[in-house]
Amino acid sequence: MSQGGMPWPGERARVPVGAAYDVVIGHDLLGAVGELLPPTAARALLVHTGRLPGVVAAVRESLVGKGIRVVDGLVPDAEAAKTIEVAARLWEVLGRESFTRTDVVVGVGGGTVTDLAGWVAAAWLRGVGFINVPTTVLAMVDAAVGGKTGINTAEGKNLVGAFHEPLGVVCDLDVLGGLPEVDFAAGMAEVIKAGFIDDPLILEIIEADPGAARRVGSQTVELIERAVAMKARVVSADLREAGLREILNYGHTLGHAIEQHAAYAMRHGEAVSIGMVFAAELAHRSGLIDDVLLQRHRDVLGSAGLPTRYADASLEELLVAMSRDKKTRGSTLRFVVLEGLAQPTRLIGPSSELLSAAYAGLG
Helix, strand, coil percentages in the chain from 3-state DSSP, rounded to 5: 50, 20, 35
d(CA 53, CA 177): 15
157 is in an annotated binding site: yes
pTM of the model: 0.85
Q: 285-301 pLDDT, tens per residue?
A: 999 999 999 999 999 99
Q: 231-269 pLDDT, tens per residue?
A: 888 887 766 666 777 899 999 999 999 999 998 889 999
Q: Name 242's Cβ contacts closer than 8 Å, sequence gap at least 6.
A: none
Q: DSSP readout, 22-80?
A: EEEEESS-GGGGGGGS-TT--EEEEEE-SS-HHHHHHHHHHHHTTTPEEEEEE--SGGG
Q: DSSP readout, 205-219?
A: HHHH-GGGGTS--TT
Which residues are known catalytic residues? 126, 148, 190, 231, 241, 245, 249, 252, 256, 268
Q: CA dihedral in degrees (328, 347, 137, 94; nearest 10)?
A: -20
136 is in an annotated binding site: yes
Q: 177-225 pLDDT, tens per residue?
A: 888 999 999 999 999 999 999 999 999 999 999 999 998 888 998 999 8
The answer to whether residue 5 scores a pLDDT higher than 50 is no
80 is in an annotated binding site: yes
The phi and psi torsions of 348 (rounded to 5 degrees) equal -110, 125
* Residue 32 near residue 62, CB atoms below 8 Å: yes
Residue 318 confidence class, pLDDT cut points 50, 70, 90: very high
261 is in an annotated binding site: no
Lowest-confidence pick of 5-9, 197-201, 355-359:
5-9
Question: Left if phi > 0, otherwise alpha if psi is -120 to 50, otherwise beta: which for 305?
Answer: left
Mean predicted confidence (pLDDT) in 38-56: 95
Lowest-confidence pick of 57-66, 245-254, 297-306:
245-254
Lowest-confidence pick of 20-34, 113-127, 238-252:
238-252
Sorted by where each starts, the structural domains of the chain and their CATH numbers stand as 11-176 (3.40.50.1970), 249-360 (1.20.1090.10)
81 is in an annotated binding site: yes
